[in-house]
Structure 1
Amino acid sequence: MQTLPITLVVMTYNEAKSIARCLDSVPFAAEKLVIDSGSTDDTVAIAQAHGARVVHQDWLGFGPQRNFATTQASHPWLLALDADEYLTPALATELQQKLPALMAGDVCAAYLRRATIYMGAPMRWYLPSMGEKMARLYHRDRARWTDARVHESLRFDGPSVTLDARFNHENNPSLPEKQLKVLRYAELKCRDWLEKDKPVRMWQTPFVFPLAFIKDYVFRLGFLDGWRGYAIAQTAASYAVYKRMRYYEMRRNPASRESAANALHRHGLDR
């Protein structure tokens, strides 16, 4: 493929098993940039072998880390992927065809559609996994990531476009890995809540699980994907409850913050 003046940006920490696939799925990017937060496996060597420039940056949180990555790119247009994501050939072709005109205009960002591979196979019905729109292609002078530690989003005030083909997300190869991510994300979210002094509202918690489960399993059609849909709905509902309980603990017992931080650090979950 012809290369285009765009930077692919990937944030990594111990992503040796997936980084090559991610990088190789974007053959048209003139620059491939990996922002690594201290990998102890072969992530850095593999990324370099697959054409990436690797920059080390201690973990800042998802939003700040993405904004740091933006400052390191050589091109004003960036494509942001996670290491466990990769373009399909159809989307790679669509991007190569449409990027020149898109970059020549006044568009701030482009939405890409993400499909999810879960428990070894694509989800077929669960709506968030069947083409979730995500702003991942953007001009760095026209868009900026929020500073949230987790669940960051790209903010811009101007025109955008949506592409047709999809990219893939291999969502947590195993349930243990998903549960570790839940612990990490909940801790980061609770620390954002602490900074904003969000009220605890524990009275809501008994209602959160059934409402969150019904939303994903019924209204988002998780039940049509069988037991995999049940697992997704159950995990999402459990996360919604756990982060509220953890926030209550942080407020009631401030000493738990340092204790949890030390435990997460020992297991490499603090980045």
Structure 2
Amino acid sequence: MSSSSRIFLSVCILTKNEAQFIGDCINSVKRVADEILVLDSYSTDDTVAIATAAGCRVTQQPWVDFSFARNTLIAQARGKWILFLDADETLHNAALLKFRLRYLTGKKTGGFLMERTEIFRHKDSGKIESVPIGLVRLFRNHAQVRFEYTVHETVDASILKAGFEIGILKRARLHHRIFLSERAYIDAKQKKYLEMIESYLAGDGDDGWMLLHKAKTQWYFERTGEALATYLRVTLSGWIPTNIRATACCHAASLYVHHGKPDEALLFLKQSFAFVKDQSLAWLVKGDLHFAAGHYSDALACYHRLLPTLPSKYQTCIFSYLYTPAPVKLFKMGCCHLALGNIGKAYLLFKAGLRMQKRSAENWLGLAHCYHERKDYPQALHAVMECLALNPEWNQALTLKKRIVSRASAVSRSIAV
């Protein structure tokens, strides 16, 4: 970290009992940060000791809300640019982030939308999933740039109001390791968030951003009817930005798919495309809808349309699902070919996905299915074990493993006889 005369990038972190995560968070930014500021809300574990030992500048104050805390750190930051991380996040490809800032031409860009990979365990399937969402966490240190909202806080509006543009930061990304937290902790946090959202909406009941998050949290707690009503309100409110309304349409469609109402889902997806034409989320939901109905060729056509890279413009971003990573797109397409009986095509797609990302549990599972269909049980078992090494609680993989072992045992017995 640099002396005050050379400070270019200030990294800011909020903490409260984050000893489990804070070390990894700090280590991920140490090589690019000129200063690391930590605002702690009186942790009772080793958070402060770990941050202090790592050379961070640590201050403490009672908790008020998220924007208040973040804006407190902005006021302390001395860098030309500010990067915010949550304590359970890590920065990947950090050098590319600083390189992008150093060689930024012009002064129109006031901040960058960054990809944050949400890594969580699905409650029903046990599968660890990764979803690329978008957040503006990197921005200029400017007097008019401040966060708003008590929870699900954003800095976007103040950047635009200050006369700046928001760019898209490619390759450098945040990893948010939700799956490492206990379910009870996540539930308690979401309950608290919903209370904060309700309190905010009591004063401004028409805020689209908060209504969207209210619906998402209602969905999390399986309050389906309430979630759908809130999503519908967002989609019908003309003053709400179109990308937020498009997101609400996709989420509502997903809920209808889950509850076996494809016609209602398709209506919402049609409206989502009307709001934002070039997006991945609506094509993903539509593909999953067709796949669940057994319309595999239609699903394949939808999956072909998935965007495998970040959008180029901030205004058209679907923040809750920026794009479909190429290995995931290949897996989805491979599953369609597998269901259509095109084992050879499916095999090639799964192998291509693994060439792109060897740790793709989905494509290892797809490969296991291909070997199983070919009755190559040793290779099938190897592939499914590779999948389970990455995703040990995925029910679908565990079920396939049992089936492979059973078939292999039956073959062995028949040979012995």
1:48 equivalent to 2:49? Answer: no
Return the TM-score normalized by structure 1. 0.68
**Aligned alpha-carbon RMSD (Å):** 3.2
C-alpha deviation, 1:20, in angstroms: 0.9
CA contact (8 A) 1:108 1:143 kept: no
Q: Deviations over 1:167-188 (max 9, x none)?
A: 2011252221110111110121
Higher relative contact order (CA 8 A, sep 6+): 1
C-alpha deviation, 1:143, in angstroms: 5.4
Residue matched to 1:14: 17
Q: Deviations over 1:96-144 (max 9, x none)?
A: 32121238734210111111211397525xxxx22x1211001121653
1:105 equivalent to 2:107? Answer: yes
Looking at structure 1, the residues matched to 127 and 18 of structure 2 have their Cα atoms a distance apart, in angstroms, of: 20
Assess, with a 3 A threshold, how the Cα gap between structure 1 residues 146 and 32 changes in structure 2: closer, same or farther: closer
1:144 equivalent to 2:145? Answer: yes
Q: Deviations over 1:150-180 (max 9, x none)?
A: 1111121222221112220112522211101
Equivalent positions of 1:1-271 (< 5 A) are 5-26=8-29, 27-88=31-92, 90=93, 92-102=94-104, 105-119=107-121, 123-124=129-130, 129-130=131-132, 132-141=133-142, 144-154=145-155, 155=157, 156-157=159-160, 158-165=164-171, 166-171=173-178, 173-196=181-204, 207-209=225-227, 214-216=252-254, 220=281
Assess, with a 3 A threshold, how the Cα gap between structure 1 residues 19 and 206 changes in structure 2: closer, same or farther: closer
CA contact (8 A) 1:109 1:143 kept: no
C-alpha deviation, 1:72, in angstroms: 0.9
Residue matched to 1:268: none
Looking at structure 2, the residues matched to 96 and 77 of structure 1 have their Cα atoms a distance apart, in angstroms, of: 10
User: For residue 136 of structure 2, what is the amino acid of its counterpart?
Assistant: A
User: For residue 208 of structure 1, what is the amino acid of its counterpart?
Assistant: E
User: For residue 28 of structure 1, what is the amino acid of its counterpart?
Assistant: V
Secondary structure at 1:40 match in 2: coil
Looking at structure 1, the residues matched to 254 and 73 of structure 2 have their Cα atoms a distance apart, in angstroms, of: 33
Return the TM-score normalized by structure 2. 0.46
Q: Deviations over 1:49-101 (max 9, x none)?
A: 1221101121120111111110011213100110111111x2x1211321212
Looking at structure 2, the residues matched to 214 and 59 of structure 1 have their Cα atoms a distance apart, in angstroms, of: 34
Higher strand share: 1
Looking at structure 2, the residues matched to 104 and 55 of structure 1 have their Cα atoms a distance apart, in angstroms, of: 34
Assess, with a 3 A threshold, how the Cα gap between structure 1 residues 147 and 159 changes in structure 2: closer, same or farther: closer
Looking at structure 2, the residues matched to 192 and 147 of structure 1 have their Cα atoms a distance apart, in angstroms, of: 11
C-alpha deviation, 1:209, in angstroms: 3.8
Secondary structure at 2:145 match in 1: strand
Looking at structure 2, the residues matched to 118 and 11 of structure 1 have their Cα atoms a distance apart, in angstroms, of: 21
Unaligned runs of at least 5 residues, structure 2: 207-222, 232-250, 258-268, 270-280, 289-417
Assess, with a 3 A threshold, how the Cα gap between structure 1 residues 106 and 206 changes in structure 2: closer, same or farther: closer
Secondary structure at 2:18 match in 1: coil
C-alpha deviation, 1:214, in angstroms: 4.8
Assess, with a 3 A threshold, how the Cα gap between structure 1 residues 66 and 121 changes in structure 2: closer, same or farther: farther
Structure with higher Rg: it is 2
User: For residue 166 of structure 2, what is the amino acid of its counterpart?
Assistant: S
Secondary structure at 1:145 match in 2: coil
CA contact (8 A) 2:112 2:166 kept: yes
Assess, with a 3 A threshold, how the Cα gap between structure 1 residues 160 and 147 changes in structure 2: closer, same or farther: closer
User: For residue 20 of structure 1, what is the amino acid of its counterpart?
Assistant: G
Percent of aligned positions with the same letter in both sequences? 30
CA contact (8 A) 2:9 2:82 kept: yes
Higher helix share: 2
